[in-house]
A and B are shown apart, each in its own frame.
Chain A
């Protein structure tokens, strides 16, 4: 059974880079897409972007200029970097595997439990 676990600093200073890693256990990171999603306090879920195990990426245009998602297949991990962080980036960050049902329908399963990142001085 595949499980995902987010890790990284819970506190980031404004203007610094927010960095998180998602470790995949119970299965290989290969052959799938992997996404980051976040939820600011009191707000809705926002998809940040995905990476394919081959390294190809797609990002949410609203964050594209500040986001980098990378993959390390040797460690079965993928990572998120969000530069120039502000208080608006304070959120619970989730990682998730993106499956393609019927080869065309993306859906997220499973998800990590999420990690709260606060941007504050």
Chain B
């Protein structure tokens, strides 16, 4: 199985901050990398697919980059509604696997 490692596991930030979350795969996955946001009690929401493509309806303050084994999710200016847990996912090979999650909290 491909192992996905996210960092940090938790992060405190303020409204307006620029935030970057990192995801690393233990083997090359080209750009088969997706990012999800999950809020308590709600369905996870697809933010970014294929490493850098913004899902329809997702605010443009979210962006993704990277390829091969190293990827980042950036939120350019944090809003209150962005405080949530974020997960990366590889779909390069089965079984699909996820990072352990990054919990973004209000400072």
List residues of A whose CB falls within 8 A of some B CB: 4, 44-47, 58, 60-62, 94, 96, 101-102, 105-114
Contact = CB atoms under 8 A, between A and B. Distances in A.
A105 B92 CA distance: 8
B94 A58 contact: yes
B7 interface: no
- Judged by DSSP, the binding face of B is loop
A24 B14 CA distance: 38
B85 to A, nearest CB: 10
Interface string B9-31: 00000000000000000000001
29 contacts: A44-B98, A44-B101, A45-B87, A45-B98, A46-B98, A47-B95, A47-B97, A58-B94, A60-B94, A60-B95, A61-B95, A94-B44, A101-B50, A101-B53, A102-B50, A105-B49, A105-B50, A105-B91, A106-B32, A107-B34, A107-B46, A107-B89, A108-B36, A109-B55, A110-B43, A111-B44, A112-B43, A113-B41, A113-B43
Interface in B83-107: 87, 89, 91, 94-101
What's the interface size class on B, roughly?
20 to 34
A4 to B, nearest CB: 8
Nearest to A4: B43
A96 B44 CA distance: 9
A13 B55 CA distance: 40
A108 B98 contact: no
Nearest to B55: A109
Residue in A62, A102, A108, A113 whose Cβ sees the most chain B Cβ within 10 Å: A108
A97 B54 CA distance: 18
B95 A44 contact: no
Given A44-B99, A110-B43, 9 more contacts: A96-B44, A105-B91, A106-B96, A107-B50, A109-B45, A109-B46, A111-B43, A113-B42, A113-B43
Given A101-B49, A109-B55, A47 B96 contact: yes
